[in-house]
Structure 1
Amino acid sequence: MTPTERPAGIVVVLAFAGITASLMQTLVVPLLGDLPRLLDTSASNATWVVTATLLAGSVATTVIGRLGDLYGKRRMLLVCSVPLVAGSVVCALAGSLVTMIVGRALQGIGMGIVPLGISALRDLLPPERLGSAIALISSSLGIGGALGLPLAAVVAENSSWRALFWGAAVLSAVVALLVWLLVPPTSPGAVGKFDFVGAGILGVGLICLLLAVSKGADWGWTSGTTLGLGAAAVVVLPAWGCWELRTRYPLVDMRVTARPQVLVTNIASIALGLSMYAQALILPQLLQLPGSTGHGLDQSMLEMGLWMAPAGIVMMLLSPVGARLSDARGPKVTLVVGSLVLALGYGSSVVLLGSPWTVMLVSAVCAMGVGLAYGAMPALIMAGVPETDTAAANSFNTLMRSIGTSVSAAMVGVVLSQMTVERGGVLVPSEGAFRTGMLIGCGLALVAAAVAAAIPVRSARRTSDHGVAAAERSAASVS
């Protein structure tokens, strides 16, 4: 089979793979309140079930991207499906916190499927199909996260919690089978050896950074552990950058990453990650807060998931619109527009947080912005790097977004924990806390739009569809 014989089937399989991988992020949300009882542990320790997935996914994403460039993206897609299946089975059988953490970490490793799938499109699709396919698969992160919440809530309320993970194992196995049957082999794009030293240094730096950010609220922001990890990250990550500049076969080519188009796009990705995750944390809490607080909307976990589900559907439906906009005006314009739409969604919350249906409207508008922006970023990255670095560059961009969302979670957590009111002897986030968090998200979305507007595109020609191919050839010729 030639790469262009069944492009629609390839896109569907890779999109399904991305949605399945992203489902793992929200899979445990309905269980968080019950995990201390189910696993005989404390509420604080139970949060490691979420943190483990974040850490493993962030560290593995860049490593898997480089391996995809070295050994072929289809091969690494199949490799990524193994920890997804294994992690799901381990979680389904878990009887202790440690076992659950191991399984969740394995699931996190499988998150590398999304940037790998985006990068494989460059090898497998004709240029005229590339723009819309990139937009769909890139938005699969948000689609899976939004749709996973109500699905997980339904299963958790009507069946054993272990059924969630058995279902995830089956989905992951189906992904592997479909990739094996329908995705053609891809040739390695890069030469050289894998940078084990660079991978180790990056892993240590990211773990220090993300632990300090994600657990700082539990440990105390001024505690010795938090400050020590933060200081270690400040030392280790620059050291990693120096190593990457000096080694012959780097994990991430820092000279390519420093190209203005790639560098500024990655900065915009961090700002967008900071912005987009605020509403994902705030709106579900607001929906579930008891009505007796005066501003809570008194929805169950299942009802909350159903109110939030349209956001994922909107993101899916909007992806071809973003592709057409990128085709007409370039992905830089799409990224700016997406960031501004996200800011509009946040801004509308000033008057639209009083009922479940208005909250659904706010989340849908925010999803429109995220969908447009997420579809544009990989196109900008791939237009600025040579073909040999496609997977590594996309994975690094995904990492930048993950860092943004991790910092956003900590930042919003501080706002909600500091601005509280007492209701029935319990401290809960105040209405002002929710509104402040949403306004912070609005401001960060505007920052992302401003940074995106400053991206120096490589060519005045269109950088999507046919234009992406032209920009890619130009990038390869100057590298």
Structure 2
Amino acid sequence: MDVIARQHAASGAIRRYGSGRILTAMCMVVVSYGLLQTMLVPSIGVLQRDLHTTTTAASWAVLSAMLLASAVVTPVVSRIGDGFGKRRVLLWMLAIYLAATVASIGAPDIGTLIACRAVQGVSLTLLPLTFAILREALPPRRVHTGPAVASGLVTGTAGVGLLIGGLVVDHASWRWLFAIGAIPVAAALIMTARWIPESRERHPGRLDVAGTAAITAGLLALLLAVTQGPAWGWSSARVLGLFGTAVVMLAGFVAVERRVTHPVVDLALLTKPRLSAAHLGALLLGVNQFVVYVALPKLAELPTGNPGFGLSVTGAALVLMPGTLLTMPASWAAGAIADRFGVRAPLTVGLALAAVGTALLAAAHGSVWHAVLNYSIAGVGWGLAMAALPRMVNAGCPPAQSGSANGLNTVARTVGGALGGQLAAAMLVSWADVNTGFTVVFSIAAGVAAMGGLLVPLWRYRDRTD
């Protein structure tokens, strides 16, 4: 479908549904994803006590199961959305997400809860589907604004989720976390069914079974190794075996995709310079963000002294709130920066600000106001970078493949988040002097973001200029 035909299709969708309703529905989808990503983080200790389990098992229920499942299913579901209709696939993913969330409310044991959280991993697929739908359904004047607003909500709702999680854990049962989380999922399902048009852009072809199996096995082995590395030992046979399996399976995946007619992932979506720059930025952004997500609340909850603040879970979440709220207006400003300086500019500036904020955290984290101020600087950077990613991806791929391309970008950030979270946890445990440990962890986060801020603007493009 050429540009004129796409514009006519978008105009018809806008007349029927209204661009405001389309954007509202997709923002609710993002909110439903963002809240349940972080609301459970404060509940690890409570789950361990109430379900009579270990810290490791509770951590799997909160983060690991969902992380592994989401990274595995997202590339496949994104490709299915490109082939069979993004709205249809989004409705199925929301329905599955809602069912797993409701089932979690009554989970009788930790095994059931882990299984429910693994099924909730389909929630990560909501982001690439949302960005692809916004690209197709919004009018040209709002086609960049919509993804920027939605991107800002990803980080913004994550901070709100931590606050809600802290309040619930401090005052009620952990089961209320899922009851609260189910509300925006149900609202998103209803809004999508009523207000979102079906996409007319399709990327046809049969599902690539061999490629799907290879990328699933490769990503699962990689993320399992990263997740279990601190517990099993990075040099243990199991972890090294998983890393080796990941290398073999992902190499096999590349070999398969070069030969099949309809690959599950078009390798051009990985190697095209405009897209590879966006994926690199997403990976490094994920590392930087999740190092801070793990380290800063831990710092805030340590006993008062050098360097803790002695805050409750809710108090630790409040330290993050100013920076979290700043990510949303920052994401809205990304469009103006991209229009003036090019699509890479918001990502470059965002990573640079993230580097500055986390470098300042490394140098000064001895008081609450230091943490609030420096986290806020990083938060502004995250807002700019998050808004830049879908615009860079959409600029580098045809509309029919926008779901797949955004899916790969989301997976890159997820893998970066897994690396960053485990890196922070391992480094904080390894340093006898707690204050030095936080300094080193924040310094690493700053270095990673600075690397991205330097590499992204230097990445060679073969497409048209920005």
Which band: TM-score by shorter chain? over 0.9
Q: Is the 8 A contact 2:152 2:329 kept in 1?
A: no
Partner of 1:401: 413
CA distance in 2, matches of 1:67, 1:347: 41
2:60 counterpart of 1:48: yes
Flag the 1:158–1:2 CA change in 2: closer, same or farther, 3 A: farther
How far did 1:461 drift?
5.8
CA distance in 1, matches of 2:464, 2:222: 38
Partner of 1:443: 447
How far did 1:202 drift?
1.0
Deviates more, 1:151-160 or 1:235-244: 151-160
How far did 1:248 drift?
0.9
Q: Is the 8 A contact 1:342 1:445 kept in 2?
A: yes
Q: Is the 8 A contact 1:2 1:184 kept in 2?
A: no
2:117 counterpart of 1:107: no
- What is the 5 A alignment of 1:77-476? 77-291=90-304, 293-421=305-433, 430-457=434-461
How far did 1:34 drift?
1.6
CA distance in 1, matches of 2:329, 2:57: 39
How far did 1:4 drift?
2.5
TM-score by length of structure 1 reads 0.91
How far did 1:2 drift?
2.5
Partner of 2:8: none
Q: Is the 8 A contact 1:346 1:439 kept in 2?
A: yes
How far did 1:460 drift?
6.1
The SS at the match of 1:253 is coil
2:12 counterpart of 1:2: yes
How far did 1:76 drift?
1.5
Per-residue CA shift, 1:332-386, capped at 9, x if unaligned?
1111111111111112224431222321122111111111111112111111112
Per-residue CA shift, 1:283-330, capped at 9, x if unaligned?
111100111x52100000011112212222111122211111112212
Q: Following superposition, which runs of at least 4 residues in structure 1 exceed 6 angstroms of deviation?
A: none
CA distance in 1, matches of 2:162, 2:427: 24
How far did 1:459 drift?
5.8
Q: Is the 8 A contact 2:269 2:397 kept in 1?
A: yes
CA-atom RMSD in angstroms: 1.6
CA distance in 2, matches of 1:256, 1:215: 30
CA distance in 2, matches of 1:334, 1:163: 38
- What is the 5 A alignment of 1:15-34? 15-34=27-46
How far did 1:55 drift?
0.5
**How many residues are matched?**
453
How far did 1:455 drift?
2.9
TM-score by length of structure 2 reads 0.94
Amino acid at match of 1:383: A
CA distance in 2, matches of 1:169, 1:335: 32
CA distance in 2, matches of 1:206, 1:254: 16
Q: Is the 8 A contact 2:102 2:178 kept in 1?
A: yes
What are the ranges of 5 or more consecutive residues in structure 1 without an aligned counterpart? 422-429, 463-479
